[in-house]
Amino acid sequence: AAEDHLVRMFECGMLCALHARRVTLSKLV
């Protein structure tokens, strides 16, 4: 159960990082 929770947190973190990067790139452009 703990591992599944960590995986979910990791996936959410990756998505959040990608979204933040996309937003910063759009702001620069």
* pTM as predicted: 0.55
Task: Tell me the per-residue pLDDT of 1-29, one tens digit each, with 9 for 90 and over.
Answer: 789 999 999 999 999 999 999 999 888 88
Q: What is the pLDDT of residue 2?
A: 86
Q: What is the pLDDT of residue 29?
A: 80
Q: What is the DSSP string of 1-29?
A: -HHHHHHHHHHHHHHHHHHHHHHHHHHH-
Q: Which two tokens stand for residue 25?
A: 């790139």
Each domain of the chain, given as residue ranges in start order, spans 1-28
